[in-house]
């Protein structure tokens, strides 16, 4: 998974303080100024979300304006999971 995080330039993991992700650790990658992909670490698994915030400083501090789960229990060996992630970066 480390390669996935580096390749798509996800942030370091940090604790969610907004309650949105049950205080789990999260990591994000910026799609544009208001839309972000977020990995939630639910040991040992990861969930992938697409979200909308007013700006990146709100991530992990405030609830998102929009949050949609893309993949539960992300597994990089499953083609559908890789496609779900890749589609947001190829546009």
**pLDDT, position 91:** 55
What is the rounded CA–CA span in Å between residue 37 and residue 14? 14
What tokens does 76 get?
């990089």
Q: What is the pTM of this model?
A: 0.94
**pLDDT, position 11:** 98
What is the rounded CA–CA span in Å between residue 67 and residue 3? 25
What tokens does 85 get?
């992630």
Q: pLDDT by residue for the chain (91 residues), tens digit each?
A: 999 999 999 999 999 999 999 999 999 999 999 999 999 999 999 999 999 999 999 999 999 999 999 999 999 999 999 999 999 987 5
* Sign of the four-CA dihedral 54, 55, 60, 62: negative
**pLDDT, position 89:** 84
């Amino acid at each position: 998974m480390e390669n996935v995080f580096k390749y798509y330039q996800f942030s370091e993991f940090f604790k969610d303080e907004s309650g949105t992700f049950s205080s789990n650790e999260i990591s994000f990658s910026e799609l544009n100024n208001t839309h972000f992909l977020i990995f939630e670490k639910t040991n040992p698994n990861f969930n992938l979300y697409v979200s909308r915030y007013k700006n990146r400083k709100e991530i992990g501090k405030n609830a998102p304006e929009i949050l949609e789960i893309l993949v539960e229990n992300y597994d990089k060996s499953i083609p559908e999971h890789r496609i779900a992630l890749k589609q947001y970066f190829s546009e």
